[in-house]
Amino acid sequence: MRTKGQIFSADAIIGLLVFMLALSIVFYYFSQISQREIAFNEGFELKDSAFSALSMVVETGGVPENWALIDGTGVKSFGIAQRRGVIDHSKLSSLCNFMDIDYNGARKILGLQKFDAMISASDLNGDSIVSCGGVSAGKRSSFKTSRLSLINGRPCLVSLEVSR
């Protein structure tokens, strides 16, 4: 019997199994890396949107400056600051009223249309001054950011929580 150029069928099966095992391991790790990259990008977008929206709200007076006095149709951006670090309580209340009336419109103006959003202000003891919007439990991911400010001359934390 000549063995030149012939392979044993068991050798071929074992080689194919080893190759398929190695290939499946490569695909498994590739999918894991892809899932982690997607989660990282979603988390980055969530945090970036939260920081941007809260900065816009607490550092500016809004556009137009008298947005709290109009019906909301011409509002380009919300801002509750009298000046940097000092919050106008009436604008904060107006923002919460606007969110209660037109939650989706408020999220769009804040640049958070992809996310659920909740804005709150509390004193340093943790007692709530105002809270509006909503973040549902059981969302994939959420992020909360806060800024130290003054309301009526008293220090408080203005917070924005966003979730997807």
The confidence score (pLDDT) of residue 16 equals 93
Is there a domain that residue 112 lies in?
yes
Cα–Cα distance for residue pair 70/91, rounded to 1 Å: 12
Is there a domain that residue 152 lies in?
yes
Is there a domain that residue 93 lies in?
yes
Region of 133 (left: φ > 0; alpha: ψ -120 to 50; beta: rest) is left
Give the torsion through C-alpha atoms of 134, 75, 79, 125, to 10 deg: -30
Instruction: Report the number of distinct structural domains present in the chain.
Output: 1
Is there a domain that residue 3 lies in?
no
Q: Which domain holds residue 24?
A: 9-163
Is there a domain that residue 4 lies in?
no
pLDDT tens-digit profile, the chain (164 residues) = 555 666 678 888 899 999 999 999 999 999 999 999 998 999 999 999 999 999 999 999 999 988 888 776 788 999 999 988 899 999 999 999 999 999 999 999 999 999 999 999 999 998 999 999 887 777 778 899 999 999 989 999 999 999 98
Cα–Cα distance for residue pair 87/79, rounded to 1 Å: 9
Is there a domain that residue 67 lies in?
yes
